[in-house]
Amino acid sequence: MRLKRGVMLATVFVMGSGLVAGCGTSNSNNSTGSTSNNASANSTSSNSPSSNSTASSSSGTTTITWEAGYITHKGMRAALIKAFEQQNPNIKVNLINEPANSTAAVITTTISSGSKTPDVYLGDVIWPAQFGHAGLAQPLNSMFSQSFWSRFAPGLVKGATYQGKIYGAPFFVDTAFLYYRKDLLQKAGISSPPTTWQQLQQDSQLMQKKGLVKYGFVWQGAPYEGLTCNFEEYLADAGGNVLGSNGQPTVNTPQVKQALTFMQSLVQSGVTPKSVTTDQESQSMNVFANGDAAFLRNWSYAWGVANDPTQSKVAGKVGVTILPAFPGQNQHYSTIGGWNMMVNPHSTHMNADQKFIDFVTSQAGQDIIASYGEIPTNSAAATKASQATNASPIFQLLTKLNYRSRPSQTPQYLALSKVIYTNVNGVLAGNESVSSAISQMQSQLKSTIGGGGL
């Protein structure tokens, strides 16, 4: 029965794996599934956790297994393990590599069967409620003191919390930025990138009217997880939420109306092309890199792509800043992507698991992550990275933005997100009015929330 349940859960998470990719973390964009260049001396290329049993040897050395998908830059996981083992010579870490798009299914099946391995695994930021509800993750509150959680940037821990229990320690984060054409702004007489959404719309229309560019602003409006991420940013700027403090849907509000109406106006005004309704990250990136748009909303990886002359016609002409906000709002929100460190509830090495997580989320561990170009979750490491002499422009913006977690603090998140992006896409495509979409969303979300967990 346990195995059968695991298979059922795996099926659900396989269906959801596209959602992970949909929010475009650099992890998913670069996953190769290869271990040959990334594993430490203690790593294994096996995708079968059961073949990598943990052990406490007679010499007093404890070996734990860490199942983690490929992380953008080769060597980062091995560097973390090496540094940890130097500080903790009695603990060895056995790395199990998993391609990002199959990790959920493999982990779900494995842990549901009662396996003691992996001890620790990487989990997408939308997993904590789903995995916690299904008994696939160990609550971390009892493993760490309250002060441990203060090391993370605000908003990250909230996203890993379900019913008062924290199921993931933030490991690295990805988030969205506004990319813009410096040369076009200068030609149009615009002195600085926009700080409000209305300024972005007006600047776009001015550059389009002058014949400087075909489109003003491109982003992700296809019916998939990426549209939920985009919508959440406008909604956060408007001061609204999808779920109330009681966990029930609260979308029949002026804030949701403001967010949807503005997104609709971008398409109706011609600032955003109608093709946005089918655009994901790669399509919007291509339009911008081809020189056909003045502004782009995308994840951190877009900085490198936009300025790579082998991939972009506008390399060297691109700037980056935080996403705008609505007038009167001082907060500038960006949706959280990225990964958490999670613990198998069947692990028999909780003390070693705790030490490993404590290290990789410490400033020392997070300095290593930053050195590989990933955004640290540790506030001190993020600040240090932003102040480095040769810091990436992305890092220099970290202290200016606010993280927005998706409404994933429910085991029904996958279905909930589908309700959101389906209705928002209907508005963008002109198939639904704002008011009818809000009404449908409220009703469908209520049914979804009441439908029970996975």
pLDDT means over runs of 10, the chain (454 residues): 32 36 38 30 37 53 92 81 98 87 81 96 93 96 95 87 94 95 98 98 98 98 97 97 90 97 98 98 97 97 93 97 93 92 98 98 96 91 87 87 87 94 98 98 91 46
Q: How many angstroms separate the most distant Cα atoms in the chain?
A: 76
What is the pLDDT at residue 9?
37
Find the radius of gyration of the CA atoms of the chain: 22
Given a contact cutoff of 8 angstroms between Cβ atoms, the answer to whether 448 and 421 are in contact is no
0.85 surpassed by pTM = no
Given a contact cutoff of 8 angstroms between Cβ atoms, the answer to whether 313 and 290 are in contact is yes
What is the pLDDT at residue 401?
87
Q: How far is CA 225 from the centre of its chain?
A: 11
Angle between helices 2-22 and 413-428 (to 10 degrees): 30
Measured in degrees and rounded to the nearest 5, phi and psi for residue 209 equal -65, -35
What is the pLDDT at residue 282?
95
